Structures are given as structure tokens and as C-alpha cells.
Structure 1
């Protein structure tokens, strides 16, 4: 495999994992909206949230541990953007904790949908910012790592 396809693949990998996370969040939101009662919504969301929350957390951990240090090392001018993205990761982790707590406590499907809608808004804003700011750098990034380690197993 030549270097060029691997380098460009980092951008494609980021876009693909973001799309899969968007779809996973949509499935969780539909489960909350369709829940006839809190017990149904909670049971369904325990499954959806477990998968979605783990995937999103794994995605952010991989970026924090592998992608962001490589970006800052190769492109020091990206340090401000990386710092902002890390702050987003912390905020999203807090929202995921709140969602998990709401699911486990049996909150109503209306409240669970509210948690998910708030998370969706923040997540979409974060993804768009990340894609806009990092795509040009990812096309040239040299990083010797497995895509699943960098962006999560999705």
C-alpha cells in the first residue's frame, strides 16, 4: 500500500465514524421517542446507550490519545483547535454520564429524548467543527496506527 492512500484514509475514516455515530444516536433517539412508557424506553435505551455511549467515548479517547498528539506534533498551529476539541470531549463525556444516569434511573421517555436531543446538538456541532478544521490536516497526517485505535471500533 502506498503512503498516499493511507494518509488520505484518515480523513475518510473520520467522516465514516462520525456518520456511524450519528446513526447510532438517531437509533437511540427513536427508541426514546417510541417508548410507550419509561420502562420500555429505559430498557431499549440501556441497549442503545450502552453501544452508542461506548462507541462515542472510545472515539474520543482514541482521538485524545493518538490523533490529537500526532496533529499537534506535525502541525503546531493546530494546538488551539485541538484544545477546543478536547474541551468538547470533556463536555460530551459529562452529557453521556448524565444520559446514562437518566436511563438507569428510569426517567420518562420524554426526558430521555430531551437528553439525547441536547447531546445530538452538541455532538453535531462538535463533529462539524472537527471535520472543518481537521480535514485538511488529516489528508497529510502521518500516523502509524490502526484506524480502530484512533477513531474507535465502529
Structure 2
């Protein structure tokens, strides 16, 4: 399961890169649709972790409790950033501000994914097989 989570993170990283490229091209209508799709995928990913994986890890590996709490807090921060960005995209606001907020989200996610991979992959691999 840990290796699979890394694959999901890699896909999300690639999507972020493509979204950033679209921001530079200035295609707001298409960007709005892509941004909403990305946010939906990311929200489902984080919701699944918070509702399923993190409680299971916490039960099996109690020493991970501080790590899981930190990751849950990061999910809240990321969700707020997603909402802010979606609002900016929907309002077709200042592209400089939108790029700055998007870069902030991307930085938060890079840090979040890296931390999660460093701290949870081994435990997830020991605990569960990959889906499908």
C-alpha cells in the first residue's frame, strides 16, 4: 500500500505540473475544469487517508500518532488552499495572484507528500497490499 500511495502522489505531482503550465498559458475556462477535477481527486485521496488509512495505522503503530496528527493538520491547510485557489479561478482574478497561491499550494503539497512518504510508506507496506 505504501508504494501505491507514492504512485498516487506522483500522479498528483504530475497533475500539479500540468496545471501550473496551464496557468502560464492563460486558459481560464479550461483551467477551471482541470482545477476542479484535481481538487476532487486530491480531496478524495486525503479523505480516504484520514478516514481509513490513518486510523488503521494509528491502531497498529501507536508510535505514529504524532505523525498522523501532523498529516491530518496538513490536510486541513491544503483543503483551505484548494478552496482559495478554486475561488480565484472561478472569479478569473489577477493571474499573478493566482499563480502565487497555486505555487503556495504546490509547495505545501510537495512538503506534505515528501513527509508522508518518509514516515508512512514502510508501515503501509508492512500492513496492507496495494489495491486491485
TM interval, short-chain normalised: over 0.9
Displacement of 1:18 after TM fit? 0.1
Return the TM-score normalized by structure 1: 0.81
CA contact (8 A) 1:33 1:110 kept: no
- 1:16 and 2:10 correspond: no
- 1:50 and 2:41 correspond: no
- 1:98 and 2:89 correspond: no
What whole-Å deviation, never above 9, does each CA across 1:102-142 have from its counterpart, x for those lacking one?
Answer: 01111132222111111010000000000000012112114
Match of 2:123 in 1: 137
Give the distance between the partners of 2:99 and 2:131, measured in 1 at CA: 31
Give the distance between the partners of 1:117 and 1:21, measured in 2 at CA: 14
What whole-Å deviation, never above 9, does each CA across 1:24-83 have from its counterpart, x for those lacking one?
Answer: 111111111111xxxx3x212212101111111110000001000000010011111000
Q: Any stretches of 5+ residues in structure 1 without a counterpart? A: 1-9, 149-154
Within the candidate set 103, 108, 131, 2:94 is matched to 108
Moved more, 130-139 or 107-116: 107-116
Root-mean-square deviation over aligned CA pairs:
1.5
Give the distance between the partners of 2:45 and 2:128, measured in 1 at CA: 19
CA contact (8 A) 1:27 1:48 kept: no
- 1:70 and 2:61 correspond: no
**How many residues were matched structurally?**
132
- 1:25 and 2:16 correspond: yes
User: Relative contact order: is structure 1 or structure 2 higher (C-alpha 8 Å, sep ≥ 6)?
Assistant: 2
Match of 1:7 in 2: none
CA contact (8 A) 1:32 1:110 kept: no
